[in-house]
Amino acid sequence: MTTAVAAPAVRPLLAEAVARLTAAALPTARQDAEWLMAAVLGLERFALYLDPAQSVAPPAAERIRALVERRAGHEPLQHLLGFEDFRGLRLRVTPDVLIPRPETEGLVEWALELASGMSAVLTADVGTGSGAIACALASARPDLRVLATDASPAALAVAAENVRGLGLEDRVRLLVGDLLAPLGTAGGPLDLIVANLPYLASGVIPTLPREVRDFEPHAALDGGADGLQALRRLVTTAPPALRPGGWLVLEIGEDQAGALASLMAAEGLVDIAARRDLRGAERYVAGRREGRR
């Protein structure tokens, strides 16, 4: 004889999840619990409150509890859900790629501003990861083509899913390799090079929150002893790849704008400027190859 497992209702199951995540010192405990429950039940988050007495089938309740336990271990919510929203696009993410951040939306916005006077824009997204930047640029500009590079085949596999899912295969081309090296003669001189490369100093990595330190790829975070290893190499190789009037736009770490602006000037770029993110930190720097398009 088997004993039937009682089906919990939405309200107490949600309360249980919130309590567990609060005990794990997660500041977004309620939001995270809502996301996980809604994902398993196939609902929008607000729908959890429309019928809180609705019963949850025991198998679904167990899946919810299992996800809550993983989140209590500080596994990123985006890994558990399998996606992140970025500039209006829903992108697949896995542990093979950096989770797209709101700060990077600011990089995309500035790149689009710089390209606003151009037509048939050819762009390189260097270190594309999930393809967030490439997909956001191509979605915003129907006349824009992107050559997206990454040294990680696993990351490019995730990017390929996102490119296909958004129907951008005809305008986003994925290339495996280091920085600009895969481009070769793939499309001619570039109007725009955009990059969110690793910019954290190696010594900072062990101090990062567990969600980042233990679950996101260190190769996408670690910028070497001073955080500038990959950025320095890109700045020194980018100008010859740009057509006259083309722009190099970078997301950077705090306190790196001065060093990178000096390096850009030494490489012959002009109109160099930095911008701050929503928190007021200098987060982006850009420079233009001299001449007209």
Instruction: Identify whether residues 120 and 46 lie together within a single domain.
Output: no
Are residues 146 and 173 in contact, defined by beta-carbon separation less than 8 angstroms?
yes
Q: Which residues span the domain enclosing 20?
A: 10-73
Model confidence at 153: pLDDT above 60: yes
* CA-closest candidate to residue 126, choices 103, 152, 89, 95: 152
Tens-digit pLDDT profile for residues 43-98: 999 999 998 888 999 999 999 999 999 999 999 999 999 999 999 999 999 999 99
Q: What is the pLDDT of residue 291?
A: 78
Structure tokens at 171: 């305008």
Token pair recorded at residue 127: 């270190």
Instruction: With beta carbons less than 8 A apart as the criterion, state whether 134 and 111 touch.
Output: no
Task: Determine contact, residues 180/248, Cβ cutoff 8 Å.
Answer: no
Whole-number pLDDT of residue 221: 97
Q: Is residue 6 over pLDDT 90? A: no
Closest CA to 242 of 196, 195, 200, 209: 195
Place of tokens 């490489």: 267
Domain boundary among 73, 104, 123: 73
Does residue 267 share a domain with residue 179?
Answer: yes
Number of domains in the chain: 2
Tokens of 60: 């679904």
Residues 6 or more apart whose CB falls under 8 angstroms from that of 99 comprise 76, 78, 79, 84, 93, 130, 216
Decide if 173 contacts 115 (C-beta within 8 A).
Answer: no
| Domain identity same for 149 and 53 | no
Exposed / middle / buried, residue 292 (Cβ in 10 Å: 0-12, 13-18, 19+): exposed
Question: Which pLDDT band, with edges at 50, 70 and 90, does 1 fall under?
Answer: very low
Residue 69, SS3?
A: helix
Describe the crossing of helices 58-72 and 10-23 by its angle, rounded to 10 degrees. 20
- Which two tokens mark 123? 């762009």
Residues 6+ apart with CB under 8 A from 83: 90, 91, 92, 93
The two beta strands, 282-289 and 172-176, are unpaired
161 Cβ neighbours under 8 A, 6+ residues apart: 92
115, 93: one domain: yes
Spatial separation of the C-alpha atoms in residues 177 and 97, rounded to whole Å: 15
Q: Is residue 78 part of a domain?
A: no
CB 224 within 8 A of CB 237: no
User: Any idea what DSSP says for residue 55?
Assistant: B
Out of 154-158, 186-190, 241-245, 287-291, pick the least confident.
Answer: 186-190
Q: Of the candidates 25, 40, 73, which is a domain's last residue?
A: 73
Q: Choose one of 73, 97, 118: the last residue of a domain.
A: 73
pLDDT at 158 over 50: yes
pTM of the shown model: 0.93
Residue 104: pLDDT band by 50, 70, 90 thresholds? Answer: very high
Q: Rounded mean pLDDT of 186-208?
A: 93
Considering the domain architecture, whether residues 144 and 248 belong to the same structural domain is answered as: yes
Please, are residues 265 and 239 in contact by the beta-carbon 8 Å criterion? no
User: Pick from 106, 107, 179: which is nearest to 148 by CA?
Assistant: 179
User: Quick check: is 5 in a domain?
Assistant: no
User: Under 8 Å CB-to-CB from 56, ≥6 apart: which residues?
Assistant: 7, 8, 9, 10, 13, 41, 64
* 192 in Cβ contact with 146 (< 8 Å): no
